[in-house]
Amino acid sequence: MAGTIRVRATASGDATEVQSLIRHPMDSGFVKDAKGELIPAHHIEVVQFEHGGKTVFTALWGPAVSKDPYLKFSFKGGKAGDELKVSWVDNKGASDSLVTKIQ
C-alpha cells in the first residue's frame, strides 16, 4: 500500500509536534458485509517514527483504533529541515513508509 501516509511535523522551540493521518480501513473483524459475512480483521499493528537515526515514537495498535487513523505526539529536538520517517506494518504484512521534512 503506497501513498497512505500524510504527516505534518512542525518544530517550535526545542520541540517538534507531529500529526499523522494514515489511510487504512482498520477493519476490526467484528463487522459483517452486505452478504452477512464477517469482514476479516485488517488493521495496522505498528507505526514507527524516526528522527536522527533514533526512534522517537512507536504506536502499537489493535482493531479498536478508528479507520484512517490519526495520531498526534511531540518529541524534543528536531528542527526545521530535519528528516522524519514514518512507517507502518499491518496484520496482513502490508506496509508503507514516508520520509518528510520537519517544518
Q: Is 42 near other proteins (CB under 8 A)?
A: no
Segment (H or E) for 98: strand 95-101
Judged by beta carbon, residue 67 or residue 79, the one nearer other proteins is 67
Q: Are 48 and 88 in contact (CB under 8 A)?
A: yes
Residue 13 interacting with other proteins (CB under 8 A): no
Q: Which is nearer to other proteins, 11 or 50 (CB)?
A: 50
One-letter amino acid of 76: K
Q: What is the rounded CA–CA span in Å between residue 87 and residue 50?
A: 9
Q: Name the minimum Å distance from CB 53 to other proteins.
A: 7
Which distant-in-sequence residues (6+ apart) come within 8 Å of 77 by Cβ? 14, 16, 51, 52
22 binds other proteins (CB under 8 A): no
Residues lying near other proteins in the complex (CB under 8 A): 3, 5, 15, 28, 30-32, 45-48, 50, 53-67, 69-77, 83, 85, 87-89, 91, 93, 95, 97-101
